[in-house]
Structure 1
Amino acid sequence: MDDAKLPLIDHLAELRARIFKVLIACVIGTALAWNFKEDIFGFLMKPAVAALGDEAGKLQAIAPTEIFFTYVKCALLTGVVFALPVIFWQAWSFVAPGLYPGEKRAVMPFVLCSTLLFAGGAVFGYSMVFPLMFDFLTGFDSEFVVSAWTMREVFAITTRLFLAFGVAFELPVLVFFLSVAGIVDAPTLFRGTPYAVLIIFVTAALLTPPDWVSQVFLAVPMIGLYLLGVGVAWAFGGNRRRERAEDEATERS
């Protein structure tokens, strides 16, 4: 760990600089996404439109500004997704001075794993959960009522689930940070598995629409990722304890 201790004002200045870099990356990503807003929106809405079928036709826009502002939100969120590697890099670079040399060498694996895990969660939700969820919701159509969804509502549900699955798949990374910070260790996490499962199902219920399909498909991978995080804590927690002991021995000698 670095011996030099930066004053609080220097930490705040560094944090401001890194936030500015993240904002620049998001602006650039949003500008690029705006040029392909219709293609991106069409891709996101494909499972919902497929579930509606030929009878319902297309999504509805019932407010004069609904199409424009929905496209703006689509470009903004896509820009943030494009900027994820920069966001993860800046987050790691900010905390890296407080880590041990062995942990600093994990910077590239951290950025790569964080990006791939988020993308993997989003792809899993899009390809596996969205079709089942929208088919389930349109299954209540009858001769008396037919689903006619607005683009704003479908976009809100879709993006919320995209983010939910992406963030949920970051669970091993969160556990890694908690482990190297000494806040938790692997035995504590393992003993807390029943409570974690309960919290995961409650979180899945809050983040997903009120249907059991999306809730189960979000909760089950999160449980597996939590157990993976326990393994990560076991591996890196032991390395951190050894490096801390070596540093203390060096300081005493």
Structure 2
Amino acid sequence: MPAVSDTLAGAQAGEPVRTPLQRHIGDLKRRLYWCGACFLVACVFTFTYADEMIAWLKKPYSDDLIFYAPTEAIFAAIKVALLGGITLTMPVILYHLWKFFEPALLPGERRWIIPFLAIASGFFAMGVAFANFVIVPLALHFMLQFGVDRALVPQIGVGLYVDFNVKFLLTFGFAFEMPLIITLLSRLRVLTPDLLARYRRHAIMVNLILSAILTPTSDLFNLLLMAGPLIVLYEIGILSARVFGRPPARPPQEEDGEEGMPDVPTGTAGRRVV
């Protein structure tokens, strides 16, 4: 038992004894530091391409963007740099997430780290692309057309426009990880498909509340535009957990002597009938 021997060796050497929980917390802190450092480096790198990223986000909107305050343009560049930093750091975050949960996995499951990183990174990129090419144009067209029909002229500030895009893109990027995370938790036996299906109504309510908080606007159309795909991803997660999840642990079997004993009829007083 290496954990016990290490603890005894540390106690004999006069070092403070660390419990398993303390070791897990220390490992989590170390991995968070690595993710934070990589995120900062990625943000500095993507800040140099902020103009290109804003131009990419601006494609659904044909008119020019304006800014109302002297600092609005630079804060918009910082926000798109944060978006790019999260996107570039996602493989590192997923790697450390996998390594943190790796001790709870079976030896045969630990070799799936490369496919896990590839699939999870691809899902995040798919979520960002889906939001940018489908959700954002639909939401933008609906709201702009609503104002134009009332004889209003749109003049959108770059800061508000970037906020609008970044919220949608990050939300859908992380939301597309939901089926994979549900499957991973099912493999760890933290969640079961039956439990997720039983609390489906609660999950739908939570999705609606989160969509109301994360939606850049307060209209019902954008709320449903965000909540609908989240609910679909939740259902895909349940299906994936049923197919790829680990079956629940079976209860320990009874002793052999009790298993082989046939049922004996009893009388009304509880005595055996001979």
TM-score by length of 1: 0.82
Q: Structure 1's 199 and 7: CA in aligned 2 closer, same or farther, altered over 3 A?
A: closer
Partner of 1:251: none
Partner of 2:264: none
Contact 1:171–1:229 under 8 Å retained in 2: yes
Which one of 206, 228, 231 corresponds to residue 236 of structure 2? Answer: 228
Partner of 1:54: none
Contact 2:83–2:170 under 8 Å retained in 1: no
Structure number with bigger Rg: 2
Unaligned 5+ residue runs, structure 2? Answer: 5-18, 253-274
Partner of 1:43: 56
- Once residues 94 and 37 of structure 2 are traced to their aligned partners in structure 1, the CA distance between those partners, rounded to angstroms, is 14
Q: Structure 1's 3 and 233: CA in aligned 2 closer, same or farther, altered over 3 A?
A: farther
Amino acid at match of 1:193: R
Contact 1:129–1:213 under 8 Å retained in 2: no
| Greater Cα shift, 177-186 or 30-39 | 177-186
Unaligned 5+ residue runs, structure 1? Answer: 51-56, 246-253
Aligned-pair identity in percent equals 28
- Once residues 88 and 198 of structure 2 are traced to their aligned partners in structure 1, the CA distance between those partners, rounded to angstroms, is 37
Listed as ranges, the matches of 1:1-253 within 5 Å are: 4=3, 7-47=20-60, 49-50=61-62, 57-139=63-145, 140-141=147-148, 144-208=151-215, 209-239=217-247, 241=249
Amino acid at match of 2:159: R
Instruction: Give the drift of 1:236.
Output: 4.2
1 or 2, which has the higher helix percentage? 1
Amino acid at match of 1:29: A
Q: Structure 1's 109 and 217: CA in aligned 2 closer, same or farther, altered over 3 A?
A: farther
Q: Structure 1's 228 and 144: CA in aligned 2 closer, same or farther, altered over 3 A?
A: closer
Instruction: Give the drift of 1:128.
Output: 0.8
TM-score by length of 2: 0.76
* 1:187-225 CA-partner distances (Å, limit 9, x unpaired): 222233333333323332332223444333333322222
